[in-house]
């Protein structure tokens, strides 16, 4: 990796001052408690490493979209409490994002101790990348660690601004272990993948992933399209899609992609339909050419599952981003769950498998195969932008290895 990482720094780098650490602790809360601690567990190795280095850490993260003002329901206090439980070490919470209260708490940290500041998005300067706000965090110490890959595609004060501010005053901005792992696996997929390289894209809309589709078409041996994205391609083929979600304005684009890709692009050959997307609905598996005017497509069908998993079985590199249907509903979960198992089987057969964040990560957990995937990304939007070839501001701002 061309950027410096935490492993590049000697223990002496943490002897003086505070280390500012950006995590992605944007996790759902329910009744004032953490409802899903997946992202918190992901940062535990980094916390342990920093504790071993006796770093005095100020942890930064956003939570939700409070719109640049305090929102009690989006406070990070419950996150600090859960982090303390998971790590076995006290993570102090400071109800301030910047200013004297945070500075005083930071100065009071002992070697190996950590505190979590309040939600960075409680201040409007976070999302506008305010230099003054970034400078206030940079003033706390000379080392900045970005381990928030899920927010690396945002040029915010706590991701891009503080890294540059730390470097401008002679400090060092490095990638944390989680960030480094993300960049290593995604980089391997996009640079020189072992072949055959099979990519699977799902989810609701082609418009949100068009740059990824364009980029992957130049690299893959097979591109599998599922989820509601496939409906737009069905329409481009002149097929009936009933009351299913379709982006009619993207049909010409889908038609162009079909012509460009030829037999490299695989679509479902059968689908699961109902009269409504509901767990109470009666479902039917039909050939894609037999979808009725009142049907709603909610999942791929069993023949498509077999077709797709057979394609995965011979792959040496697999990339998956996006579910095959409305997998949150039991009626329409089978396609996504079976595909997750197919990706896991490909791993067991020797393939490098990378699963994008968001719904795809939730799907492999639901299928019980997370431990059988080479890498499950923590960043949905960031991984998509990386795969599309876009630069990530939170990564670009870090110190180069030759610095």
Reply yes or no on whether 381 is catalytic: yes
**89-98 pLDDT, tens per residue?**
999 999 999 9
pLDDT tops 90 at residue 296: yes
- pLDDT for 1 equals 62
Buried-exposed string 78-107: b where 16+ CB fall within 10 A, e elsewhere: bbbbbbbebbeeebebbeebbeeebbebbe
Q: Prior bond to 196 cis, omega within 30?
A: yes
Nearest to 335 by CA among 324, 345, 346, 321: 324
Domain positions in the chain are: 6-180, 192-387
- pLDDT for 38 equals 85
- pLDDT for 207 equals 74
Q: Are 22 and 159 within 8 A, CB to CB?
A: yes
| pTM for the model | 0.85
H/E stretch holding 19 reads strand 19-22
Residue of 358, 379, 380, 394 marked active site: 358
- pLDDT for 330 equals 92
296 CB-side CA count, 13 A: 14
Among the listed ranges 58-72, 127-141, 212-226, which one has the minimum average pLDDT value?
A: 212-226
**345-392 pLDDT, tens per residue?**
999 999 999 998 678 888 888 889 999 999 988 777 788 888 777 789
Residue of 3, 4, 39, 272 marked active site: 39
pLDDT tops 90 at residue 50: yes
Residue 35, class by beta-carbon neighbours within 10 Å (0-12 exposed, 13-18 middle, 19+ buried)? exposed
Q: What percent of the chain has pLDDT over 70?
A: 99
Q: Which contacts of 328-332 are long-range, i.e. CB under 8 A and separated by 24 or more positions? A: 329/277, 329/278, 329/279, 329/298, 330/279, 331/272, 331/274, 331/278, 331/279, 331/281, 331/283, 331/298, 331/299, 332/272, 332/277, 332/283, 332/298, 332/299
Q: How far, in Å, are 4, 149, 182 from residue 378 at the CA level?
A: 20, 7, 8
Which of the 8 DSSP states describes residue 3? B
Reply yes or no on whether 358 is catalytic: yes
Q: pLDDT grade, residue 21 (50/70/90)?
A: very high
Same CATH topology for 6-180 and 192-387? yes
190 CB-side CA count, 13 A: 19
Q: End-to-end CA distance of the chain: give it in Å, rounded.
A: 13
Reply yes or no on whether 250 is catalytic: no
Question: What is the token pair recorded at 87?
Answer: 């790590």
Residue of 17, 68, 112, 381 marked active site: 381
- pLDDT for 335 equals 95
Q: Looking at the domain that runs over 192-387, which CATH code has it been given?
A: 3.40.50.1260
Average pLDDT over residues 110-121: 97
Q: What average pLDDT does the chain have?
A: 93
Q: Which CATH architecture has domain 6-180?
A: 3-Layer(aba) Sandwich (3.40)
Q: pLDDT grade, residue 194 (50/70/90)?
A: very high
Residue of 89, 205, 255, 264 marked active site: 205
- pLDDT for 403 equals 60
Q: Are 284 and 237 within 8 A, CB to CB?
A: no
Q: Are 174 and 6 within 8 A, CB to CB?
A: yes
- pLDDT for 357 equals 67
pLDDT tops 90 at residue 150: no
**237-263 pLDDT, tens per residue?**
999 999 999 999 999 999 999 999 999
């Amino acid at each position: 990796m061309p950027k410096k990482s935490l492993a590049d720094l000697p223990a002496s780098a943490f002897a003086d001052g505070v280390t500012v650490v950006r995590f992605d602790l944007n996790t759902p809360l329910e009744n004032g408690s953490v409802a899903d601690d997946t992202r918190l567990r992901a940062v535990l190795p980094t916390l342990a490493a920093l504790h071993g280095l006796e770093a005095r850490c100020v942890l930064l993260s956003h939570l939700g979209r409070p719109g640049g003002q305090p929102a009690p329901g989006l406070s990070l206090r419950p996150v600090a409490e859960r982090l303390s439980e998971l790590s076995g070490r006290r993570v102090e919470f400071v109800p301030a994002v910047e200013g004297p209260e945070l500075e005083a708490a930071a100065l009071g940290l002992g070697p190996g101790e950590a505190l979590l500041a309040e939600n960075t998005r409680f201040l409007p300067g976070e999302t506008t990348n305010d230099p003054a706000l970034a400078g206030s965090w940079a003033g706390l110490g000379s080392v900045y660690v970005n381990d928030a890959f899920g927010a690396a595609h945002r040029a915010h004060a706590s991701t891009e601004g503080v890294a540059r501010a730390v470097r401008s005053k002679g400090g060092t901005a490095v990638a944390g272990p989680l960030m480094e792992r993300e960049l290593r696996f995604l980089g391997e997929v996009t640079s020189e993948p072992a072949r055959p390289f099979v990519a699977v894209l799902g989810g609701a809309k082609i418009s949100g992933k068009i740059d990824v589709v364009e980029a992957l078409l130049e690299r893959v041996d097979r591109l599998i399209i599922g989820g509601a994205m496939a409906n737009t391609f069905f329409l481009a083929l002149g097929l009936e899609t009933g009351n299913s979600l379709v982006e009619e304005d993207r049909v010409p684009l889908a038609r162009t992609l079909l012509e460009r890709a030829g037999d490299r692009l695989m679509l479902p050959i059968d689908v699961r339909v109902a009269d409504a997307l509901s767990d109470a609905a009666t479902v039917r598996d039909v050939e894609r050419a037999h979808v009725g005017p009142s049907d709603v497509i909610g999942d791929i069908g069993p023949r498509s599952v077999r077709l797709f998993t057979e394609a995965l079985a011979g792959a040496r590199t697999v990339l998956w981003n996006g579910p095959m249907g409305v997998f949150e509903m039991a009626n329409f979960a089978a396609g996504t769950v079976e595909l997750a198992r197919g990706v896991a089987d490909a791993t067991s057969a020797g393939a490098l498998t990378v699963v994008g964040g968001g719904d795809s990560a939730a799907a492999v957990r639901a299928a019980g195969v997370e431990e059988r995937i080479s890498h499950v990304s923590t960043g949905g939007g960031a991984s998509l932008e990386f795969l599309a070839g876009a630069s990530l501001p939170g990564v670009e701002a870090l110190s180069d290895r030759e610095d």
